[in-house]
Amino acid sequence: MKRVVITGSNGLLGQSLVSLLLNEKDKYKVIGFSRGDNRSGRNDFEYVSIDITDEMLLKEKLKTYTPDVIINTAAMTNVDACEDNKEECDKLNVDVVHFLKEYAEKTNAHLIHLSTDFIFDGEKGYYKETDDPNPLSYYGMSKLKSEELLTSSSVHYTILRTILVYGKVFDMSRSNIVLWVKKSLEEGKEVTIVNDQYRMPTYVEPLALACKLAIDKKAKGVFNVSSKKLLSIYEIAMEIAEVFDLNKNLIKPISTQSLNQKASRPAKTGFDLSKSIEQLNFVPENFKQDLQNFKEKLT
């Protein structure tokens, strides 16, 4: 039986992973590390309320549970907030990874770390794992630094890069693009959304499955995980309206420039998924199919 510590176990991916791994209790012992109370709605796993930015405390708790695998889903992901609070961003996005890396080096634990398309500048799209990063924001830079900590180490690491993660779990601390567009349209509110940024959104359930595949295959290296079709964010909103039978006329396209956001965003990301398909046996869907699966789960 593998002992798996999930940092950020109260988050969207964290809760999804807890549920997925607990489906095979004979195979995985799940330990969740997160701030505050356990928000997963489950009490059939070990939960530790912890500030993982406290190095001594984090390493002490890891020694207590001696994980074979650590999945680091915890991160500061609000791109503009990272620009405003660089120190806080570095604490969670870089320092924590350094602490986990040091622990994993000593114990040979398998460290699975989540990263982002925002390490790229968005000049070309359909990025391969081997393409040169060039982040435009402090958030992107912090995630690149965390990747470099692992790629330059002796740790058995898996980095899963992903894009615009959405879904729903028991107790949500924050929304995501699908829930926000859906709720706004259901309430009859106009949605203004950029038509000059392109992404491949990622449903949280296949992303959790990719983490599990990385554990089972002892995968090492960097892997891209997302849906398989590049869409403008405006097109993403239109597909949400279509799948959930909501009023498309409430969706209004705008340019990125008109938003005047604090941090720059890459214009066109998206991934080449062939390595994950071949080596992880990851099976990507197009966004509409993932949305349909999500809709069925909600009903």
pLDDT tens sequence across 115-147: 999 999 999 999 999 999 999 999 999 999 999
224-264 tens-digit pLDDT: 999 999 999 999 999 999 999 999 999 999 999 999 899 99
Maximum alpha-carbon separation in the chain: 57
Pick from 240, 202, 241, 251: which is nearest to 223 by CA? 202
Residues in the chain: 299
153-208 tens-digit pLDDT: 999 999 999 999 999 999 998 999 999 999 999 999 999 999 999 999 999 999 99
198-199 and 231-232 beta bridge pairing: antiparallel
| pTM for this predicted structure | 0.98
Side chain identity at residue 158, one-letter code: T
Task: Tell me the CB-side half-sphere exposure of residue 168, using CA atoms within 13 A.
Answer: 14
The encoded tokens of residue 31 equal 């330990």
CA distance 259 to 125: 22
Cα distances (angstroms) measured from residue 54 to each of 7, 97, 109, 144: 13, 12, 20, 22
191-194 and 46-49 beta bridge pairing: unpaired
